[in-house]
Amino acid sequence: MKPFATKPFAMKTDPLTGEEYLEVELRGQQLLKHPLLNKASAFSAQERLTLGLSGLLRPIVSDLETQRKRSYEMFSRKTDEIEKYIFLQALLNRNETLFYSLLSAHLSEMLPIVYTPTVGKACMMLSHITRDYRGIYLSPENINDIDHILRDVPLPDVHLVVVTDGERILGLGDLGSDGMGIPVGKINLYVAAGGLHPACCLPFCLDVGTNNERLLDDPLYLGYRKRRLEGKEYDEFIEKFVMGIKRNFPHALLQWEDFAKHKAFKLLDRYRERILSFNDDIQGTGSVAFAALMTAMKIKKQRFNDQRFVVAGMGQAGSGIACNILNMLKAEGASDEEARSKIFAIDAPGLLLEDSPGLDDVQKEFAKSRAAVASWKLQSPGRISLLDVIRNTKATVLIGVTAQKGLFDAEVLRQMAKNDAQPVIFALSNPTSKSECTPQEVADATEGRGLIATGSPFEALEYRGKKLMTCQCNNMFIFPGVGLGALVSRSTKVTQAMFLAASRAVSALVTEEQCSRNMLLPDLTNIRNVSFHVAKAVALEARDSGIGRILSDDEYDRVIRKAQWEPHYYPYRPAHE
């Protein structure tokens, strides 16, 4: 047997039979320990003989469905969310095909485990529960070796990179390299929801240090135990990373994930024209919330220009949502001044005003003049609170991305109910412990009339004999399809028009029957179909704007369906027989 190969397998097609198979370099225990190649009990008798597996497996040959049933039985024995997370990660690191088959079959049940809210809890203790490493960790100690590191990645090709520097993990803050759970989880969703093949996806953590004293003092912390790089040193580090990706994976899509706000906007602006990339926290969150708003307008039978919008929390997500609303208002015919007059942005100090200190460029766009609020009646002179804004503007849409549990209290919600017959209330912070309010609180305050969306999953609730649905404004409706569409169209960049096309595609999939139950987004159980339609909308937008390859609508149908991988085992043949 030849020595271990950096690229341990290749996809082949038999020229005689047309059979697709994997040509594998590995044998025996090496093959059983490779998560992308391990089939465990599903190796056929012929494969066991030719690949050095005879005697290493028990005699029964199982199919994938039988393996999935066995795995689900073991999963169901776990009573603790973190233990379920550990079990699923162990399965991922042992047999990726089986992991994705299990996840796809039980997506609604397992989504809160592999991603929010449980992934946040897991990241808080990742150094304490790590069993195996997954992905690539780059630090100041190895960044200059990036080409060597990336050339040794044991994948045939890389088309998707999800990267974080761990500084703003969900609503939990700076978790250093323990934030790697987020890129791993996002790739889980890319594969399960979008259909990308796991062999082309790679998570990255840019371990530039941490300012979290808990981690710095924790003897079990596994990350780079120094203060975070900042300024010029940080910028140079990022530049080396991006250029390394371009050199080694020239056709890859780069998704920025959970960077601090002041860095996220800068990185997006700096690299969006230089490399195929987007920021899910800014653009993905804004896009899925916008899709839900479009459906809400359909239910209300009103336009965006009929509303008054309050956006609480002008970080990455809030800024993205506010910008999408602004663009829609102008698309409906409002002037720039008229559009801005309908959006009220709130952050930690209260309503953003033109003389508020420390505003960034996006916040300045939505800050109000002192003259515009001079006649308002306030609870406490000198500060304009959330309740003040809602009362004085007669707000009809309230969106929260603050990570402040209970911010939308009973008084705020009752005022929204007074302002509008069907107030739209989005409590989008996650995990669940950070949600601005619960669906039950909205139902109680609005007598069941409120149109609700949340950032974390909540069960449907009964209110006065009526079942009210709560849609999770999950970025999974958007980013897997956007990524897939950008890749299959071979787009040179990801544009805001592509995200708008994605929002329209998602909202269009909400049926009349679902609208009658106040559902603002499609059913997550049909996520593969949602991703297909998003990918097609994105690909067509790329084509029509001149940055994607020229294929007909029907050709894109076929290309996207072909690109959506379903978990299954390929037959294997040994290399160099």
Q: How far apart are CA 321 and CA 402, in angstroms?
A: 13
Task: Say if residues 146 and 166 touch (Cβ distance below 8 Å).
Answer: no
> Which of 239, 282, 236 has the alpha carbon at shortest distance from 258?
282
Task: Identify the H or E element spanning 153.
Answer: none
- The beta-strand segments (E) located in 120-264 are 136-138, 160-164, 201-206, 253-256
Widest distance between CA atoms in the chain: 84
Q: 3-state DSSP call for residue 240?
A: helix
Could you confirm whether 186 is annotated as catalytic?
A: yes
C-alpha dist (Å) from residue 43 to 20, 102, 103: 16, 18, 21
> Which of 245, 361, 344, 22 has the alpha carbon at shortest distance from 353?
344
Q: How far apart are CA 282 and CA 504, in angstroms?
A: 17
First CA to last CA across the chain, in angstroms? 10
Could you confirm whether 115 is annotated as catalytic?
A: yes
Handedness of CA 182, 160, 319, 207 (dihedral sign): positive
Token pair 């050339």: residue: 151
Count CA atoms within 13 Å of residue 437 on its CB side. 28
Query: Among the options 39, 84, 186, 342, which is catalytic?
Result: 186
Residue 328, classified by CB atoms within 10 Å of its CB into exposed (0-12), middle (13-18) or buried (19+), is buried
Q: How far apart are CA 390 and CA 309, in angstroms?
A: 9
Task: Say if residues 424 and 299 touch (Cβ distance below 8 Å).
Answer: no
Query: Among the options 84, 85, 100, 115, which is catalytic?
Result: 115
Task: Say if residues 537 and 565 touch (Cβ distance below 8 Å).
Answer: no
CA angle 445, 450, 454 (to 5 degrees): 100
The DSSP annotation for 443-501 comes to: HHHHTT--EEEESS----EEETTEEE--EE--GGGTHHHHHHHHHHTT-SS--HHHHHH
- The beta-strand segments (E) located in 218-276 are 253-256
Q: How many CB atoms lie within 10 A of CB 465?
A: 6
> Which of 514, 502, 434, 512 has the alpha carbon at shortest distance from 470?
514
Active-site residues: which are they? Answer: 115, 186
